Amino acid sequence: MRIDQLRDELGSHPADPRRVQLRLRSLRARRLRYRAVISVIALVVVLVAVAALGGLRRSAGSSSEGGSGAPNFTYACGTISLSEALAADDLSNGASIIVGRGHLTGVVRNAPIDGGGYRQFVVDEVRVLAGPALTTRTAWIAETWEATPLPATVNGGTRAPGATWSVDGSFFGEWWPKNAADKSVLPMLNIQPYQDGLVIFTRRACVDVSGVPNIPYSGTFSELPGEDSNRYARDYPVRAVKLADIVALLHTIQQTSSAGAGCPENRASPPVPTSRAAPRHS
């Protein structure tokens, strides 16, 4: 074989540049699709993780606020409507919905398990809107203990504010009585500011109030010392709902509940099991 024969033969099967370009384009497109799929999967994993984290917080928050069998709606984070929150977490589980005026005593207690703090709050005046009458005027407010930042909001907020109430002490709240089964669980109180006939829902409440008439609200509230809740509250939409509308909503819930008595499927879901203990008598 001569060298020129060899070269002729070697050069006789060139790849078609157009077909190579097409093939290359196809591979690049496939890679883009692959990366897109991977990105979507990664996003889903992150969302699931965030949702799971949120669920853990919610369940832990339930425990911290109400002790065993005493959940709250403060960590529902907007995925649950106000009516569902009131029905599911409060009226079906022995809480009292109240408006009143009160003040912090300065007494702090730590939970026995996770060390989260609770502030003692004394109710000076109270009006029970729904649920049983109060048997004591002293309850405990859970400190905000979200050390892990939340996903950033459109306003850039990464942390939910803590409990707030009006500067004159007025509040709207859910009062969880001392646990009947576990006497060591103290009464708990979740509060939102109440002023000028309006209940103000910060992200602390984490309920969706779009089902009732509401308006945006801005203002400064009393807060637990050191929590800077007014600043964190401004990172999220703050909405105000007329107390009259909430009272009407409570009536509707109670009527529906009476009509559905004996039909478990008509009742709200039971509270999520809790992992964070409420403060107990030491």
**Interface contacts to another protein, rule CB under 8 A:** 1-3, 5-17, 19-21, 23-24, 27-28, 31
Closest CA to 282 of 62, 118, 152: 118
Q: Which two tokens stand for residue 119?
A: 């502030």
CB of 18 to another protein, least distance (A): 9
Select 1 or 263, whichever has its Cβ closest to another protein. 1
Please name the helix (run of DSSP H) or strand (run of DSSP E) that holds residue 114, with its range, or none.
none
CB of 7 to another protein, least distance (A): 6
Q: What residues have CB less than 8 Å from 214, skipping those under 6 apart? A: 201, 239, 240, 241
CA–CA distance, 152 with 160 (Å, rounded to integer): 10
CB of 167 to another protein, least distance (A): 59
C-beta of residue 205 within 8 angstroms of C-beta of residue 192? yes
CA–CA distance, 187 with 70 (Å, rounded to integer): 9
Select 10 or 263, whichever has its Cβ closest to another protein. 10
Select 25 or 231, whichever has its Cβ closest to another protein. 25
CB of 55 to another protein, least distance (A): 39
Select 16 or 265, whichever has its Cβ closest to another protein. 16
Closest CA to 192 of 267, 148, 246: 246
CB of 65 to another protein, least distance (A): 52
CB of 31 to another protein, least distance (A): 7
Contacts 24+ apart (CB under 8 A), 229-232: 229/144, 229/161, 229/162, 229/163, 229/164, 229/202, 229/204, 230/161, 230/164, 231/161, 232/157, 232/159, 232/160, 232/161, 232/162, 232/203
